[in-house]
Amino acid sequence: REFATLQNIAQSGQPFAQACKTLRIWQNKQRNYQAAIKHYAPQQLTHTLQQLARLDKINKGQDKGDGWLLLTHLVSDLLMA
């Protein structure tokens, strides 16, 4: 859910404070969101969301694949970004 929120803020075009208010992000969480937005490109957030959705389907048996391997790749990608 946090990645979707980050993506919404990054793509909204609104000033950060206004986007946080619109998305009802608590004040004590805003610093973390702002740091993540500066660190990750919007394309990285989109890719991560897509992979998380695929991981969810794998875990529910709706898609084939190795969920643990996909999770490992996701974490590696985020750490390398």
The model's pLDDT over 5-50, given as tens digits with 9 standing for 90+, comes to: 877 777 788 888 888 888 888 999 999 988 988 888 888 888 988 9
Same domain membership, residue 72 and residue 58: yes
Three-state SS string across the chain, please? CHHHHHHHHHHHCCCHHHHHHHCCCCHHHHHHHHHHHHHCCHHHHHHHHHHHHHHHHHHCCCCCCCHHHHHHHHHHHHHHC
* pLDDT grade for 2, boundaries at 50, 70 and 90: confident
- Number of domains the chain contains: 2
Distance, C-alpha 38 to centroid of its chain: 13
Q: Which two tokens stand for residue 14?
A: 């609104």
Same domain membership, residue 81 and residue 65: yes
Report the predicted TM-score, pTM, of the whole model to 2 decimal places.
0.69
pLDDT at 6: 74
Angle (nearest 5°) at CA 5 between 15 and 52? 145
Same domain membership, residue 48 and residue 29: no
Same domain membership, residue 14 and residue 2: yes
Range of the structural domain that residue 67 is part of: 41-81
pLDDT at 55: 97
